[in-house]
Structure 1
Amino acid sequence: MAMAAGTAEGEPMMDVNTTPLIDVMLVLLIMFIITIPIQTHAVKLDLPQDSNDSTPPPINPVKNKIVITPTGQTLWNGAPLDLVTLRQYLDQTQTMSPIPELHLQPDPQAKYALVDEVLAVTKRAKVEKMGFVGNEAYSNF
C-alpha cells in the first residue's frame, strides 16, 4: 500500500478513491456504445408484391435497359444520358400502359456512387417494374 508523503503515522488519508468512479464511467461508456444504432447506407426500394388475382402482363412488354459503364457513363437503351434526362424518361415510362420493364445492368467495375444515384432516381420516379440483369458478371468477385 502506498503512503502519502508528509502525513503522520495514524492520520486518515484525505484523498478521494477514484477507482469506483472510473468503473462506473467505463460501464456507462460501454452501455452507450452498445445502444448506438448501426449506421447503414441503403436505398430502400418498394418492390411489387405478387398478387394472385391480378392479370399477368402482356407476353412481350416493352423493356428499357439502363447500363452503367466503368467510365461513369449511364446508357439508356445504348444511348448516353445524364441523371436529369433519366428521370424524365422514367417519368414518361410510368405513364404508359402497360408500364414497361426497367432492366438495370451496372458493370462490375462501375463506381458504386453512380449506381446508388441511379437507384435513387428510380426510387424517386416510383418505378414499379424493375430488375437487375447481368448478375453472372459478379460471380468472379
Structure 2
Amino acid sequence: MSVGSSSGEPDVMVEMNTTPLIDVMLVLLIMLIITIPVQLHSVKLDMPPPSDKKPLQEPIVHRVDIDFDGTIYMDGAPLAGIGALETRFTEFAAMPDQPEVHLRPNKLVPYKDVAAVMAAAQRIGVTKIGMVGNEQFM
C-alpha cells in the first residue's frame, strides 16, 4: 500500500524553509544595530568662557511681556504691534553694549506670537535675549 504518489517518485516540496532566512535576517539586524553610531540629542551652543571677573556695571534689562491675546508689552507699556517692537529691537542692536531682553510669555499665548518675537530679535541682531518665567509651564 503506497501513501505517496503512484509513480514511486518523491513529491516535490512546495513550501520554502524560512528558518535559514530568519537566521540571516537576525544576524544582519544585529550587525546593523552594532554599526550605527550613537546619536546624541544635544544642541551645540557657543557659550562664553567662564570668567571670575565681576561686570563693571549692572546690565540694562528690558522686559518684553506677551499677553494671552498676543498684546506685546515693553517694560510694562503696551506696544502697537510687532513693528513697534522691531523698532525698539533695532535701537538695542545698534548699541555697542546691548541691553538684555527678558521675554516672558503668558501661559495661554499661542506659540506663533512668541516665535514671532524671537524671530524678530534674531533677524535684527539682538543677541542677549532670554526666556523668563518658564516655571509656569511645568
TM-score (norm 2): 0.58
Alpha-carbon separation, structure 1, partners of 2:109 and 2:115? 11
User: Looking at both structures, which has the greater relative contact order when contacts are Cα pairs under 8 Å and sequence separation is at least 6?
Assistant: 1
Could you tell me how far 1:67 is from its partner in structure 2? 0.8
SS of residue matched to 1:90: helix
Alpha-carbon separation, structure 2, partners of 1:85 and 1:17? 74
TM-score (norm 1): 0.57
SS of residue matched to 2:118: helix
Deviations 1:10-45 (A, max 9, x none): 3121343456556739x75xx69xx6x98x8x9x87
Q: Residue 14 of structure 1 aligns with which residue?
A: 14
Counterpart code for 2:61: K
Asked if 1:91 corresponds to 2:82, the answer is no
How has the CA–CA distance of structure 1 residues 50 and 21 changed in structure 2, closer, same or farther, with 3 Å as cutoff?
same
Q: Residue 62 of structure 1 aligns with which residue?
A: 60
Counterpart code for 1:73: T
Alpha-carbon separation, structure 2, partners of 1:17 and 1:112? 56
SS of residue matched to 1:91: helix
SS of residue matched to 1:70: coil
Asked if 1:79 corresponds to 2:78, the answer is yes
Q: 8 Å contact 1:91–1:125 — kept in the other structure? A: yes
How has the CA–CA distance of structure 1 residues 79 and 129 changed in structure 2, closer, same or farther, with 3 Å as cutoff?
same
How has the CA–CA distance of structure 1 residues 57 and 123 changed in structure 2, closer, same or farther, with 3 Å as cutoff?
farther
* Corresponding pairs, count: 123
Could you tell me how far 1:100 is from its partner in structure 2? 1.4
Could you tell me how far 1:85 is from its partner in structure 2? 4.1
SS of residue matched to 2:119: helix
Structure 1 runs not aligned, ≥5 long = 1-6
Moved over 6 A (4+): none
SS of residue matched to 2:104: strand
Q: Residue 124 of structure 1 aligns with which residue?
A: 123
SS of residue matched to 1:89: helix
